[in-house]
Amino acid sequence: MRLEGKVAIVTGGAGGIGAATCREFAGQGAHVVVADRDGERARRVADELVAKGLQASAVAVDVTRGTEMEGLVEGVLANRGRLDVMFNNAGIFHERDVSVTDTDEDIWDLVIDVNLKGVYLGCKYAIPAMLAGGGGSIINTASFVAIVGAAVSQSAYTASKGGVLALTREIAVEYARRGIRANALCPGPIDTPLLADLMRDEAAKARRLVHIPVGRLGRAEEIAQAAVFLASDESSFVTGTDFLVDGGIAAAYVTPE
């Protein structure tokens, strides 16, 4: 198994991509800590895995709160003795996060808090734990919109994901010789509850689909499988990347009919 013996935290672990990743990680032999603001849904994901004979536990945590993130990592070290994989995946999109001229300051702050500060806090507390265990793999969820401009404006979201890319690179360079790898996973549009909110508007949906060369949305499992690779020792020479899993969006100038 590809993650045998590893201990992994997945933030946003109760959501679309997070829950799919928890299933893949546990299926590959990891102990998965399903960490989510929604503790009840996190518990359901962990229970489902344990019922299948896999290793999982659940923690209710808000990634924007330093004390909670510190407590999350401390709890994992106390209960599991190590931390090998930190998947900073929790993220939000807000319907009032639009063009930069029309996005209110409170929405900007909220989105940056969850999507960027949450990643910073996850790294801040995971890195010392990983160093103590001889190294590890950090995976931070960015997005294809950090690489190419989005067809539909979402200024704070895009800025937050660009910040995730830059932060991840810096961590990768700083800690490479101490056994920690850090990669930014950049999904294209994936069929999850987060995207369903955006796709309610038919015009916005059509504008998004036309840019995807493979002609469909991605599935959460397709992101989870990339996360398994980045978490595992198979990617031992992969660090500091903007790891795109986007159906070809960022490669396309004109999408074929």
Both tokens of 28, joined, read 């590959």
Q: Which residues of the chain form contacts with ligand NAI (CB under 6 A)?
A: 11-12, 14-18, 36-38, 61-64, 89-92, 114, 118, 141, 143, 187, 189-190, 192-195
**Can you tell me the distance from the alpha carbon of 136 to that of 37, in angstroms, rounded to the nearest whole number?**
24
CB of 11 to ligand NAI, least distance (A): 6
**Least distance in angstroms from the C-beta of 156 to ligand NAI:** 11
Find the catalytic residue in 120, 125, 157, 175: 157
- Print burial letters for 213-241: b (CB count within 10 Å at least 16), e (below 16): eeeebbebebbbebbbbbbbeebeeebbb
C-beta of 179: minimal distance to ligand NAI in Å?
Answer: 26
User: What is the tally of helices (H) and strands (E) in the chain?
Assistant: 9, 7
* Residue 157: active-site member: yes
- Strand bridging mode 85-88 / 7-11: parallel
Q: Tokens for 55, please give them.
A: 């290793």
Distance from first CA to last CA of the chain, Å, rounded? Answer: 41
Burial of 257 from C-beta contacts in 10 A (0-12 / 13-18 / 19+): exposed
Question: Considering the complex, what minimum distance in angstroms separates the CB of residue 121 from ligand NAI?
Answer: 10
Query: C-beta of 190: minimal distance to ligand NAI in Å?
Result: 4
When the beta carbons of 131 and 191 are compared against ligand NAI, the nearer one is 191
Nearer to ligand NAI among residue 135 and residue 162 (C-beta) = 162
What is the distance of C-alpha 89 from the center of its chain?
2
Nearer to ligand NAI (CB atom), residue 132 or residue 204 = 204
C-alpha to C-alpha distance for 82 and 100, rounded to whole angstroms: 42
| d(C-alpha 183, C-alpha 164), whole Å | 10
Q: In what helix (H) or strand (E) does residue 33 lie, and over which residues does it extend?
A: strand 31-36
CB closer to ligand NAI, 74 vs 233? 74
Nearer Cβ to ligand NAI (71/135): 71
Residues belonging to the active site:
157
